Amino acid sequence: MKSRRDFLLKLGGSALTLPIVSALTPAEAATPPADKQLRVALVGLGSYADRVATAMKDCKLAKLVGGVTGTPEKIDKWSGKFGLDKANFYDYKDFEKIKENPNIDAVYITLPNSMHHEYTLRAAKMGKHVICEKPMSVSVKEAQEMIAACKKANVKLYIGYRLHFEPYTRELIRMRESGELGKIMHVNTYDGFKSGDPKQWRLKKALAGGGALMDVGIYCINGARYATGEEPIWVSAEEAKTDPVKFKEVDETVTWQMGFPSGAIASCATTYNFNNFERLYVIGEKGFVELGPAFGYGPIKGRTHKGEMSWDTSKMHQTWQMDGMADCILNGKPEPNISGEEGLKDMKVIEAIYKSIAAGGKKIMV
């Protein structure tokens, strides 16, 4: 592959075992100690990378220092916009030169899903810590190889689960872990939006690996897992497609159920077909938590059986995320289920859901 840009242009022309660690309270996640900084280069300077870079302006422990792009003109734009040294920018073909740069400690891979595997393996060989955007890969096999490569290189592999540092989500987890909700009986979770440009990479299976399920349905899977504190043992799923032309290669709308060892059931759905579809509702024997919006960039809102939730929403989620991840790497803070192993668990569920769809909704063991 010459570059991400070349690949995109070419393709465009063609048709958790839990419990979650509770050491981080919302307040601690929002204000980590500022003693050292993790120096990060973003791999793939698209729209999400821009969001991460903007959020990192307010970070205390993480610092953006460079990037990797197949579009040379972006170097001038990014170095000017974010005050970065041009010496810390690279092309995909000379990606390995980052190994020689002592000013880069970690890379954050924000490329299309199918490229996560390759660049994680390449980064690990360079001895750099890896943050990989979700989903971590397009298959269980790739996820396992990514974990093995980072372990062999003795570098950290974190998945971009920004919500694991977000205050409303942290409070939901705290309430569940503390027993305030009692035994979890049921979870209802859904996330989706109306997809726009039919030529975008997210609708190309070779780049995305799947459709709505891979993109935002993963929030529903991950959310149900941290809401129950358990791993699903079976799934049953169906797909609906209203536009077989636009969504020829990937899934449009998926509904599924997940069963957990305690007997709790999660009813979930994801879509690329309509907006205003975002909720996480957790019902326990003693109480409930409802987040809505629950998974987007914010502000997240919520209520419980005790009343309305109120947490700090002044920061971008990625600010909490990057400072939190830096705190884990630099200061040994316990990881709130953001590791490659966490990403692998979600990939196992995703594969089981696709198998169930292919089998006509048959129950598949995870």
Positions annotated as catalytic residues are 134, 219
Q: Write out the DSSP string of 109-121.
A: E-S-GGGHHHHHH
Q: What is the 3-state secondary structure (H, E, C) of 182-246?
A: CCEEEEEEEEECCCCCCCCHHHCHHHHCCCHHHHHHHHHHHHHHHHHCCCCCEEEEEEECCCCCC
Backbone angles phi, psi at 229, to 5 degrees: 75, 20
Distance CA 364, CA 47 (A): 36
Q: What is the dihedral of CA 216, 218, 220, 222, to 10 degrees?
A: -140
What DSSP character marks residue 134?
S
Phi and psi torsions of 42, nearest 5°: -90, 130
Q: Which residues of 57-81 are buried (b: 16+ CB within 10 A; e: fewer)?
A: eebbbbbbbbbbbbeeebbeebbee
3-state SS, residue 136 = coil
HSE-CB for 68 with a 13 A CA cutoff: 24
Type of residue at 124: A
SS3 47: helix
Residue-wise burial string across 255-294, b where 16 or more C-beta atoms lie within 10 A, e elsewhere? bbbbbbeeebbbbbbbbbbeeebbbbbbbbeeebbbbebb
